[in-house]
Amino acid sequence: MPDRDEILEAVMRHGRNIALPVSLALVVFSSRRKLINGLQTLIAKTRKEKNRAALMDNYGPVKTEVLEHNLPVKGTLPAELNGAYMRNGSNPYYDPYCSYHWFEGSGMVHAVRIKDGTATYCNRYVETSKLKQEKKAGKPVFAAFADQEGRRGVIIAMLELLKIKTGAVNVKEGTGTANTSLVYHAGRLLALHEGDLPYQLRMVCNGALETVQRLTLGKDWGETNFNAHPKFDEPTGQLHILGYNITKPEVKLGTMDPAGQLEHTIKVDLPWPSMMHDKAITSKYKIILHFPLCFDPQAMVKQDTLPIVWVKERPARIGLVPKQAKSMDEIKWFEMPR
Ligand SMILES: [Fe+2]
């Protein structure tokens, strides 16, 4: 194997011949994200009807982050009242280039902290990997979900894949927006989005919110997504979680103990993959809601829609999984009448 000096000598010898192609390659390499983003935007903008309803009027994003103490209070706050009321929602940091779907705005948490008879308001973006990359670039760097409609959407999706394969965007830390819900369990406040792991937040003494970390659960859960509606089991203090991928025919169920440690997981094979937004629990079972809302790139082209469609030919299925099930054989499946 030639050493570094040999390589450098060869470069020097053939410098004149290779200088131009190497320079060109470097220019293309360093600006590939810019090029691909530009192309994606151009293609997206060819669509005449841009859906931006979720950016308007009362739905419009809040563009400032504030921390406001001593809010006006009508009447009196009981001195014993000590806690916080919070909500999470989709709030794009940058205006999207073309269409917008409210599934995909950055998560922003709003909180009112009540303590010692006073109230404090704070709103903060959840500092996800995706948002950090956008802030660094000064603009959106991932293709909008809402632009991935029809034939042009296929091309936009392919260019997005190219960005991922060439490392122009970082997907190793997930691409979720943490914008869907909040859950408080085992002393941890989590902002959730079904396409990623949770982001742990905290409220500091003065009522301000901070992002702590993207929470991982150990090797048994790995990088499996963590859906936005885990179920708290009041009598046991456990949290029941679910992870799915719309392109894989399987779902993973997990149980976190009252201390927040993952104590039980089971992977369940499915006859076809589907979008699994929610789940349920009873005193004995975890309940899988396997409905035919499916990823279908063919429908995307033929029906000029987003690639997620209701497949009428498939049944809606409900699976009862004993809470401590060790095998899929213990699951009872029910098909809903059509
Ligand atoms: Fe929901």
Tokens of 136: 């660094």
pLDDT over 70, % of the chain: 90
Distance between CA atoms of 306 and 303, rounded to whole angstroms? 9
Separation of CA 122 and ligand 1 centre (Å): 23
Distance from Cα 116 to the centre of ligand 1, integer Å? 34
Distance 329 CA to ligand 1 centre (A): 29
The residues facing 200 across adjacent strands are 190, 213
For residue 102, pLDDT beyond 50:
yes
Quote the ligand 1 centre to 289 CA distance (angstroms): 13
pLDDT tens sequence across 31-54: 666 777 777 787 877 776 677 888
Q: Tell how far the Cα of 80 is from the centroid of ligand 1, in angstroms.
A: 33
Which tens digits make up the pLDDT trace of 261-276?
A: 999 999 999 999 999 9
Residue 30, pLDDT score:
54
Lowest mean pLDDT among 27-31, 101-105, 173-177: 27-31
Count the neighbouring beta carbons within 10 Å of the beta carbon of residue 176. Answer: 25
C-alpha 227 – ligand 1 centre gap (Å):
9
Distance 193 CA to ligand 1 centre (A): 9
User: Which pLDDT value is given to residue 189?
Assistant: 98
How far from each other are the two terminal CA atoms of the chain, in whole angstroms? 66
Kindly give the distance from the C-alpha atom of residue 176 to the centroid of ligand 1, in angstroms, as a whole number.
15
DSSP line for 214-249: E----TTTTT----S--EEETTTTEEEEEEE-TTSS
pLDDT band at 246 (very low <50, low <70, confident <90, very high): very high
Give distance in angstroms: CA of 337 to centre of ligand 1: 24
User: DSSP labels for 294-323?
Assistant: EE-HHHHHHS-S-SEEE-TTSPPEEEEEET
Identify the weakest region by mean pLDDT among 52-61, 84-93, 281-290. 52-61
- Tell me what pLDDT residue 306 has: 84
Distance CA 194, CA 197 (A): 8
pLDDT beyond 80 at 21? no
Q: Taking the CB of residue 34, how many other CB atoms lie within 10 A of it? A: 13
Q: How far is the CA of 194 from the centre of ligand 1 (A)?
A: 9
- Ligand 1 centroid to Cα of residue 141, in Å, is 26
C-alpha distances in Å from residue 196, one per residue of 45, 79, 203, 240, 271: 28, 39, 22, 16, 23
| Cα of 228 from ligand 1 centre, angstroms | 7
Mean per-residue pLDDT of the chain? 89
pTM of the model: 0.86
Q: In the prediction, which pLDDT does 44 show? A: 76
Mean pLDDT of 65-72: 98
What average pLDDT does range 311-337 have in this prediction?
Answer: 96
Does residue 145 surpass a pLDDT of 70? yes
pLDDT grade for 2, boundaries at 50, 70 and 90: very low
Mean pLDDT of 195-223: 97
Distance from the CA of 62 to the center of ligand 1, in angstroms? 21
Compute, in angstroms, the gap from residue 33 CA to the centroid of ligand 1.
33
**pLDDT 10s digits, 293-321:** 999 988 888 888 888 999 999 999 999 99
Q: Output the CA 169–ligand 1 centroid distance in Å.
A: 28
Whether pLDDT at 8 is above 50 = no
Q: Does 92 score more than 80 pLDDT?
A: yes
Q: How far is the CA of 196 from the centre of ligand 1 (A)?
A: 15
Query: How far is the centre of ligand 1, averaged over its atoms, from the C-alpha of 264 (Å)?
Result: 24
pLDDT at 203: 97
Three-state DSSP state, 181:
strand
202 vs 182: CA distance, rounded Å: 12
C-alpha 307 to ligand 1 mean position (Å): 19
Q: How far does residue 280's CA lie from ligand 1's centre (Å)?
A: 12
Label residue 149 by pLDDT band (50, 70, 90): confident
